[in-house]
Chains A and B, each alone.
Chain A
Amino acid sequence: DVKVTQSSRYLVKRTGEKVFLECVQDMDHENMFWYRQDPGLGLRLIYFSYDVKMKEKGDIPEGYSVSREKKERFSLILESASTNQTSMYLCASSSITGGTDTQYFGPGTRLTVL
């Protein structure tokens, strides 16, 4: 079974702090994604990566950056956390083979910025 893990389930940070959210997948998937989920807004794509060192902006990249130095790991960085970045962050991965784009999700990180 595909396993996607995220470094923390819950995280509390202060405004202005630099925040790192880590995601690791164990199925050699090429694609990895970061979403944020807010009530009433569903999942919104922040960034995705289709290969090592490659990244593409999603729908809401402002205030975020990403890093993918290894195939299995995709990091989301909040350079200077703000209260409006309080949210649930979900990481996912998918394979380009099979042509279905089924995504496998981690358990999520609930980030609170005070």
Chain B
Amino acid sequence: SQQGEEDPQALSIQEGENATMNCSYKTSINNLQWYRQNSGRGLVHLILIRSNEREKHSGRLRVTLDTSKKSSSLLITASRAADTASYFCATDEGYQKVTFGTGTKLQVIP
């Protein structure tokens, strides 16, 4: 099955800076989602972008989708220490099943 690949695997930034993480996938999708996971916890849904959308915003989050390049990016603006977490993209394969990538571990230093 296809799997999203996040890049970079790990990212360390200072508080107040922007954080950008990328996701690449292999086949056509219905939508792409981003999830967040705090250390040792379950995942929490952040934002969904449909295949016919190019950009979407939610608070300090901005997601872009380029279906021609089969890639997406998640931008977190004005990062905070509380944003420290792992971030996963998930691609919709239909049949009510999504496939998760390996994640980007973000550390925001106060």
Contact B42 A43 (CB under 8 A): no
Q: Tell me which residues across on chain A come within 8 A of B69, comparing CB atoms.
A: none
With A42-B3, A42-B88: A102-B45 Cβ-Cβ less than 8 Å: yes
Total contacting residues, chain B, CB less than 8 A: 25
**Contact between A50 and B43, CB atoms less than 8 A apart:** no
A31 within 8 A of B: yes
Q: Give the segment of B58-66, B72-80, B95-103 that binds chain A.
A: B95-103
Kindly identify, within residues 1 to 46 of chain A, every residue whose CB is under 8 Å from any CB belonging to chain B: 4, 30-31, 33, 35, 40-43, 45
The chain B residue sitting closest to A102, CB to CB, is B45
Given the complex of chains A and B, what is the CA–CA distance between A31 and B48 in angstroms? Answer: 18
B97 touches A102 (CB 8 A): no
Once the chains bind, are B96 and A108 in contact (CB under 8 Å)?
Answer: no
Q: In the assembled complex, how far is the CB of residue A50 from the closest CB belonging to chain B, in whole angstroms?
A: 6
Asked whether, in the complex, the Cβ of B42 is within 8 Å of the Cβ of A108, the reply is yes
By the criterion CB–CB under 8 Å, are B48 and A102 in contact? Answer: yes
* Stretch of A68-76, A79-87, A93-101 at the chain-chain interface: A93-101
Q: How far apart sit A103 and B44, CA to CA, in the bound complex (Å)? A: 8
Report the nearest A residue to B92, measured CB to CB: A101
Shortest Cβ distance from residue B45 to the other chain A in the assembled complex, whole angstroms: 5
> Is the C-beta of B68 less than 8 angstroms from some C-beta in chain A?
no
Q: What 1/0 mask marks residues of chain B from 8 to 33 whose CB sits below 8 Å from any chain A CB?
A: 00000000000000000000001101
A residues apposed to B, CB below 8 Å:
4, 30-31, 33, 35, 40-43, 45, 48, 50, 58-59, 88, 90, 92, 94, 96, 100-108, 110
Q: A42-B88, A108-B40 are in contact. List 19 more A-B contacts (CB 8 A).
A: A4-B42, A33-B97, A35-B100, A40-B102, A42-B100, A42-B102, A42-B103, A43-B100, A48-B97, A92-B42, A101-B31, A101-B33, A101-B96, A101-B97, A102-B45, A102-B48, A103-B98, A105-B44, A107-B41
* A-B pairs, 7 with minimum CB distance: A105-B42, A42-B102, A43-B100, A105-B43, A31-B96, A107-B42, A102-B45
| Chain B interface residues (CB < 8 Å from chain A) | 1, 3, 30-31, 33, 35, 40-45, 48, 88, 90, 92, 95-103
